[in-house]
Amino acid sequence: MGVTTSAGSARLLQLDEQWRICDWTDLDIANTLEAWCIAFAPSGRELASSGHTTVYCGGDDSILRYTTSAYGLYPRATEDVEVAAQPSILKNQHNAGVTAIFPLDAFDAEGSRLVITGSYDDNIRLFAVRDPDPAAFTKRAELLAEENLEGGVWRLDLVHANASAECPIFCVLASCMYAGARLVQFARDKQGIWQCDIAAKFEEHQSMNYGCAFVLGSEGEKSLQCVSTSFYDKMICLWDVELKLEC
């Protein structure tokens, strides 16, 4: 299990059969301020079954850090965790703390993973990030698209993914603190340019929206039934939205 701490640590916990913490190791992607999020992704198609995982961490210093670690399916201790690559950093792309990271199981034509991030600067972003390779130079991450969602992007949930080469589309549900909830679509046009559009908004909350979830509606992926929560007003809202997925 991966966790972050208010002291900036990115930590991998080892749990026993009773789900108690029996050991842990600190990963070398700690934040210099509070660490807000940690995420894991398979480390490329060739390594997906080998136990290699790319680990990402974001926090209040506005930097996205990531590295590749390797471990067995059932490590007996944190000493079994091997850091396979030196940490990489993505600087000067977020104007405030990195609060959400969602690595997609999708890649661009050059083999870089598509990674969505959220930030306190109110923006959602799509990057092409090469999984670190200890045997090769790691290509610099590239910003593909971004959109201002009018509130700090605290949490992301994947609604729809179509990674086809002809018309890749990804739709995410974002919890945007004081702005409420947003349904956001990333799509690449025929010229290879990525676009980011707000497909729907929900703004009934009177306090910070920290969480959202959804189920597919009766018409499958054409509609969603969403639930969202807010903090100080202790409100839970149930709402429906129609999906229009277009390249």
Q: 10 Å Cβ neighbour count for 5?
A: 14
Amino acid at 102: F
The pLDDT value recorded for residue 85 is: 62
Sketch the domain layout of the chain as residue ranges: 1-148, 151-247
Token pair belonging to 163: 């990674």
Q: Which residue has the higher pLDDT, 233 or 52?
A: 233
The pLDDT value recorded for residue 111 is: 87
The pLDDT value recorded for residue 36 is: 96
Name the CATH superfamily for 1-148: YVTN repeat-like/Quinoprotein amine dehydrogenase (2.130.10.10)
The pLDDT value recorded for residue 53 is: 82
Nearest to 116 by CA among 47, 182, 25: 182
The pLDDT value recorded for residue 215 is: 94
The pLDDT value recorded for residue 109 is: 86
The pLDDT value recorded for residue 243 is: 85
The pLDDT value recorded for residue 44 is: 53
pLDDT tens digit string along 70-127?
A: 754 444 545 555 655 678 999 999 999 999 999 999 999 888 999 999 999 999 999 9
pLDDT above 70 coverage of the chain, percent: 86
Q: Which residue has the higher pLDDT, 206 or 220?
A: 206
The pLDDT value recorded for residue 25 is: 86
The pLDDT value recorded for residue 73 is: 43
Section 150-155 average pLDDT: 97
Q: Which residue has the higher pLDDT, 222 or 20?
A: 20
**Lowest mean pLDDT: which of 65-79, 162-176, 205-219?**
65-79
**Lowest mean pLDDT: which of 7-16, 80-89, 150-159?**
80-89
Nearest to 225 by CA among 212, 234, 235: 212
Q: Which residues contact 209 (CB under 8 A, 6 or more apart)?
A: 151, 154, 175, 176, 177, 178, 179, 180, 181, 228, 229, 230, 231
User: For residue 128, what are the β-bridge partners?
Assistant: 114, 142
Average pLDDT of every residue of the chain? 88
pLDDT tens digit string along 28-64?
A: 899 999 999 999 986 555 455 556 788 999 999 999 9
